[in-house]
Structure 1
Amino acid sequence: MLQGLSISQIVDLTGGKLLCGENEFVVTNVAIDSRQVVRATETLFVALQGAKASGELFIPDLISLGVKAFLVSKSFDENKIRKDEGLIFIAVPDTREALQKIAAFQRKQFKKPLLGITGSNGKTIVKEWLGQVLSEEYTVGKSPKSYNSQVGVPLSIFGLSAYHQVAILEAGISKPGEMDALENMIQPHLGIFTNIGSAHDEGFPSRKAKIWEKLKLFKRSKFVIYQKNDSELSNSIEQEFSADRLISWGDEPGATFVRSVKKLEQGTRIVLLKEDLEMLTFKVPFSDSASLENITHVLVAALTLGEQSTKIQQALDHLKPVEMRLTLKDGANESLLIDDTYSNDLAGLRVALDFMKLQRPKKRRVVILSDVLQHGAVEEVYSEISGLLSEYEIDQVYAVGKEVHRISSAGSMEIALFETTQDLLQGISPNDFQEDLILITGARVFGFERVVNFLQRRIHGTTLEINLNALTHNFNFYKKQLKPQTKVMVMVKAFAYGGGAAEIANHLQSMGADYLAVAFTDEGVALREEGITLPIMVLNPVKESLLLCQQYDLEPVVFSPSFLRFTAALTQKEKIELSIHLDFDTGMHRLGFDESELADLGEILLANPQLELKSIYTHLAGADEEVHKEYSIQQLETFARIKEKLKLMLSIAPLAHALNSAGILAFPSFQFDMVRLGIGLYGVEVTGKNEGALKPISTLKTTISQIKEIPPGGTIGYSRKGVLPDGGRIATLAIGYADGYDRRFSNGGGFVLIHGQKAPIIGNVCMDMCMVNLEGIAAQEGDEAIVFGPEVSLSDLAKGIGTIPYELLTNISTRVKRVYYLD
């Protein structure tokens, strides 16, 4: 924060009411997430209302961390406060608005240039590239990642410091009315409107209305930068603002900067002709139109701020495409790598350390970082980095560069210094790390991708990428369909539907899932050994595994009278207690007790108090198909009757659950106490009615191993099934049925995307590879091929070979590398 705030100031700023605590207590940090608190004793926690719960639920945990000051809603129950503990509670009508008012005050303390960026696409890329270019001359503060929302913008403002010489904030909206609050906080001196596209069109009555809403960001800006190539956008901007406030660029005469572009063998030359006929030439390492558009915004903004063209070119020489995501990868010796090699500022470091804090426990927390390449304020920057590393309890730091030696050690943290990345690679070995959590973050010029590759576990080139943001989106979509009191059990059986159980379970644990479910006991044991603490139900335990369930605090399902008697006898003999769940067969006719067996069941449970009944449940046979609606309702009514009978017999009310992903949407009045979220979490809405509301979380991709020219009449693969009568080019891909790529995709049954074009499978799918027809596709060896993901529907692929998405997901072999990321 730019300025510490007393409690009395916060009350005045927010229009709040001080429920208890001292007026002169000063806070220097604001937090909205109980898992991401640093400097706890100086923190104000703002209890926002989330999709699944209110932040007020986490106040007891925060108090135990040392947080003293809380901003809560006016409906907060004052009786929950122990006023003798030195705590401070401020009640406000709306906690989000209060957060924004505090941010607006902090923004006013920043008297230096501030750039605001909005548009449909490219906001984050422009911000990151502009930050890199301006860092040649200035100490730059900017939004971390894509923090551009009603909550992200305040957090970005709180990240600004007095030593920053220029700030860059982005603003994103999805519906009318949102930009007013963002403008009041950001109030940019210089605005950049990147472009206008289809993103969030559904939230506005027209494209023009969306443009006008976004333009509100610049109502107090001295200048607005935009491109004249888009007539709809430029006409709107030129109608709204006087000519003396407009700075345009375009490829035709009439713009403030007229651009010409020449593609080179490597990269592109951009020439900008100013109104005074001065010509400026830059070489950039990109050639695609989107990157050229984004970098032109950067060039014009840097020139407008007075940056010298020679300094701009120095930064451009090191510029690379920005990978705007934190990526989690398997490291050598069971270590876990967080790849943040595109980020090199304090805001990004804070986000990466927050992400690190949320991962499952490892032996050590290790950070490998480079110099922060910013002009000026060196001592302040490294002092703040030292404080962050200490707050996040980092055990070991490997620091690379000429300035990073300024980091100071605290506590038991050890620091190893290296002047260059090559020195680091020569000075460490993968064997130096055993079951560690390693964050790798550094400036582009240090080439830390080499460090990631050096420490990464060696697996072949096929990867399954898991988008944790999409997972969160899907979880929240289903959570919004539920009553506030309904709990959520998430299915992570079958390696979390192929996604990797440990990492997904850890993310679900951080999101607030109530229960996990696995198929077999060893799956539950593996999760416990990875530090997962949520309750875990085991769907298909065997008798031999019951003691293991008790040892690892797993809760087995009991599905028959004989199994129940065995479980009772075993726990009596071993003198142990065991939590169990009961499966009832109401029409699935697979496993489970029949309603007629209730009396025997009740007698056994009453005679065996060492068995704690946690829940009862049933499976719906046809919740995903409208044709079975009446049958499903019969099942649900039968289960409701069983639930009441059991409650009368046992005088207890265990949790009851019946709805799967499809059932949550189809039968909302039968939520009971809990629902079981499965395939929907992973982005597949099996009824097809709400598929647009979900995001695919998985992208399966591989690489081209070799390209061959096939003569006319040539055959391809085993049994010579693939034929090219006229000859052509084929590519061999590094994926086969041993990786889970189904043989039914052979001979045109499937396809992959290469450079956005369909390449059909030709010949039979082999064990470790397959071949595709490259007709009309300009591909090279090493290029990427997308098997499925956002661009290739998993449901469509499954239909094409007569199966279901579950099978395609769960068949993905464990030898396929899983990569997890936040975009």
Structure 2
Amino acid sequence: MKMTVEEIRRACGGKLLCGDPEAVVTSVSTDSRKIEPGALFVPIKGERTDAHAYITATFAAGAVATLTEEHTEMEDSHAWIRVPNTLSALQLIATAYRQRFSIPVVGVTGSVGKTTTKEMIALALSAEKKVMRTEGNHNSQVGLPLTMFRLEPEHEVAVVEMGMSDFGEMSRLAEIAAPNCAVITNIGISHIQQLKTQQNILGEKLHIIDRFQEDSVLFLNGDDPMLAGLRGKLRVKTRYFGMQPWCDDRAEQIAFHPNGVRFVFRTNGIAQEVDLPVLGLHNVTNALAGLAVAHFLGVDLEKAAKALKEYQPLAMRQQLHRHKGITVIDDSYNASPDALKSSLDMLENLREQDGRCIAALADMLELGALEHRAHFEVGAYAAGTGVDALVTVGTRAAAIAEGARSVKPEIPCHVCASNEEAVEVLKGLLRCGDVVLVKGSRGMHTDEIVKKLLEYLG
């Protein structure tokens, strides 16, 4: 990026306290430990730390300017810009910077699968276009603005993940990114503690279209009941992707094999064979979104499908580790009821002839009043899919064991209070040929279970 201090000041409506208005800023950071020469530092006041305390250190590291909401006067060779609120100022600056680019911006949201879908869309587009995409899951009120600053003149399209957990957040993100193409993966119950109902979640997600123009298009998952219910009801152009025969972009002839899944992508009378190196029906859905968007934006379908053949899952997202005849599925990044059910389906696809399917599942957080029922239903679903044994971690996850026993009373269930206890149980339980899924909300740190298991298996 490249903006002058004066351009930044105008964008956020701030007051330049000191410094050169023509100084050039080439990056923006909210982390004082990750300052590059030429950076603008944006100190955010957090619950534990006020980053204003690190402003001087960022100048020593090469920053040329800072925002501040604590200072009213300053004498310094560096640029200090006074603003009422540094987070709001960051968002305003990112909004102004994004408006310099006339390229397509694809916004991706949904309760489950945002990051994987974003990666597959970006990969499919990269077959013929220079793509800027969100790194990791930097999809928040802070992360999305920082992502927009990564846009450069050579980019032909951007794919940005947009996450929200409360009322009003998606509207702000839509103002910043101004997507003219958007994807909603599904409507689950993640963050229902704050948003109260699925209908509220749907309403908030739909704010992704707030900045749509006449030629903008919204891609919706036709296999999601709430999204399918929007057919013919929205003011914007829509395209549906999914397995339903009425979907505009759909998957047919789906066939799983030991190392992935094959299917035929059909759209507008065109059929394209696709071979994904990952398991799970949910990944077919993610790939459908990628192919649908790529085709809409003019990418050759054969090339897009070839690009998807090289897809590799991100860390802690259904990564397969095979050691001493045991397969460990590291899906520890996060969890929700829908995501857990998708992962349990995938677990069954990996079953070996004489091996067992074992699920180590931890608490799902932020489910509010639905907490007990959601965990109970996941347990019942697990027993119904043929899981041979369950290991649960946390007080909430104990209901998973209850649900499993309600369907299959004889299923072995090990209810653990900690990750350490779960590891010890798994060490005594696993044998050659077994497949074990490890999953839980990010706050449960189930990646610790994976790490200790892999160390044990060598």
Instruction: Write the letter of the residue equivalent to 2:47.
Output: A
User: Out of 219, 234, 237, which is 1:240 matched to?
Assistant: 234
1:187 aligned partner? 178
Quickly say closer, same or farther: Cα 1:287–1:30, change in 2 above 3 A: closer
Bigger CA radius of gyration: 1
- 2:272–2:301: 8 Å Cα contact kept in structure 1? yes
The answer to whether residue 54 in structure 2 is matched with residue 63 in structure 1 is: no
1:633 aligned partner? none
- 2:109–2:184: 8 Å Cα contact kept in structure 1? yes
Q: Which one is further off, 181-190 or 64-73? A: 64-73
Q: Distance in 1 between matches of 2:247 and 2:150?
A: 35
Quickly say closer, same or farther: Cα 1:789–1:152, change in 2 above 3 A: closer
2:129 aligned partner? 138
**Shift of the alpha carbon at 1:152?**
0.4
Q: Distance in 1 between matches of 2:127 and 2:452?
A: 45
Q: Distance in 2 between matches of 1:466 and 1:304?
A: 31
User: Out of 39, 42, 46, which is 1:46 matched to?
Assistant: 42
- 1:247–1:256: 8 Å Cα contact kept in structure 2? yes
- 1:71–1:91: 8 Å Cα contact kept in structure 2? yes
**Shift of the alpha carbon at 1:118?**
0.8
Q: Distance in 1 between matches of 2:267 and 2:61?
A: 57
Q: Distance in 1 between matches of 2:285 and 2:65?
A: 46
% same residue: 28
The answer to whether residue 455 in structure 2 is matched with residue 817 in structure 1 is: yes
Deviation track 1:410-458 (CA, whole Å, cap 9, x = no partner) reads: xxxxxxxxxxxxxxxxxxxxxxxxxxxxxxxxxxxxxxx99xx9xxxx9
Instruction: Write the letter of the residue equivalent to 2:226.
Output: E
Q: Distance in 1 between matches of 2:197 and 2:331?
A: 34
The answer to whether residue 265 in structure 2 is matched with residue 269 in structure 1 is: no
1:172 aligned partner? 163
- Equivalent residues in 2 for 1:368-767 (5 A)? 759=412
Instruction: Write the letter of the residue equivalent to 2:295.
Output: L
Quickly say closer, same or farther: Cα 1:65–1:227, change in 2 above 3 A: closer
Structure number with the bigger relative contact order (C-alpha 8 A, sep ≥ 6) is 2
Structure 2: stretches of 5+ with no match in the other structure:
336-361, 364-370, 372-387, 390-403, 405-409, 415-422
- 1:140–1:168: 8 Å Cα contact kept in structure 2? yes
TM-score (structure 1 length as normaliser): 0.41
Deviation track 1:290-332 (CA, whole Å, cap 9, x = no partner) reads: 112111111211111122122123213222333357xxxxxxx
Deviation track 1:206-263 (CA, whole Å, cap 9, x = no partner) reads: 2112112111112315111112222322323642234xx1111233333223432422
- 1:459–1:816: 8 Å Cα contact kept in structure 2? no
SS in 2 for 1:784: strand
User: Out of 273, 277, 290, which is 2:282 matched to?
Assistant: 290
SS in 2 for 1:35: coil
1:87 aligned partner? 78
**Shift of the alpha carbon at 1:145?**
0.1
Quickly say closer, same or farther: Cα 1:56–1:769, change in 2 above 3 A: closer
Q: Distance in 2 between matches of 1:299 and 1:468?
A: 25
Give the length in aligned residue pairs. Answer: 370
1:212 aligned partner? 203
1:784 aligned partner? 436
- Equivalent residues in 2 for 1:113-124 (5 A)? 113-124=104-115
- Equivalent residues in 2 for 1:323-342 (5 A)? 323=315
Q: Distance in 1 between matches of 2:432 and 2:233?
A: 47
Structure 1: stretches of 5+ with no match in the other structure:
326-341, 343-448, 471-682, 685-691, 693-729, 732-750, 752-756, 773-778, 795-808, 819-823
Instruction: Write the letter of the residue equivalent to 1:770.
Output: G
Quickly say closer, same or farther: Cα 1:292–1:466, change in 2 above 3 A: closer
Deviation track 1:490-522 (CA, whole Å, cap 9, x = no partner) reads: xxxxxxxxxxxxxxxxxxxxxxxxxxxxxxxxx
- 2:41–2:63: 8 Å Cα contact kept in structure 1? yes
**Shift of the alpha carbon at 1:113?**
1.7
Deviation track 1:258-288 (CA, whole Å, cap 9, x = no partner) reads: 432422434333223334x333332333442
SS in 1 for 2:159: strand
User: Out of 221, 224, 247, which is 1:227 matched to?
Assistant: 221
Instruction: Write the letter of the residue equivalent to 1:781.
Output: G
Deviation track 1:36-85 (CA, whole Å, cap 9, x = no partner) reads: 0011xx11111111121211111122233233311011x4363xx4x1x4
Q: Distance in 2 between matches of 1:174 and 1:814?
A: 32
Quickly say closer, same or farther: Cα 1:283–1:767, change in 2 above 3 A: closer
Root mean square deviation of aligned Cα: 4.0
Q: Distance in 2 between matches of 1:173 and 1:299?
A: 25
Quickly say closer, same or farther: Cα 1:287–1:234, change in 2 above 3 A: same
**Shift of the alpha carbon at 1:460?**
12
1:127 aligned partner? 118
User: Out of 305, 308, 311, which is 1:313 matched to?
Assistant: 305
Quickly say closer, same or farther: Cα 1:21–1:305, change in 2 above 3 A: same
Q: Distance in 1 between matches of 2:117 and 2:71?
A: 42
TM-score (structure 2 length as normaliser): 0.70
The answer to whether residue 322 in structure 2 is matched with residue 322 in structure 1 is: no
Q: Distance in 1 between matches of 2:108 and 2:453?
A: 42
**Shift of the alpha carbon at 1:768?**
11
Deviation track 1:69-111 (CA, whole Å, cap 9, x = no partner) reads: 11011x4363xx4x1x412211111111110111011111122
The answer to whether residue 68 in structure 2 is matched with residue 76 in structure 1 is: no
1:7 aligned partner? 5
Runs of 4+ in 1 over 4 A off after TM superposition: 458-463, 465-470, 757-761, 765-769, 788-791, 813-816
Quickly say closer, same or farther: Cα 1:142–1:324, change in 2 above 3 A: farther
Q: Distance in 2 between matches of 1:293 and 1:815?
A: 31
1:502 aligned partner? none
- 1:22–1:88: 8 Å Cα contact kept in structure 2? yes
Deviation track 1:115-163 (CA, whole Å, cap 9, x = no partner) reads: 1111111111011122222222112111100010000001111112111
Quickly say closer, same or farther: Cα 1:767–1:324, change in 2 above 3 A: closer
- 1:116–1:217: 8 Å Cα contact kept in structure 2? yes
Quickly say closer, same or farther: Cα 1:92–1:290, change in 2 above 3 A: same
SS in 2 for 1:236: coil
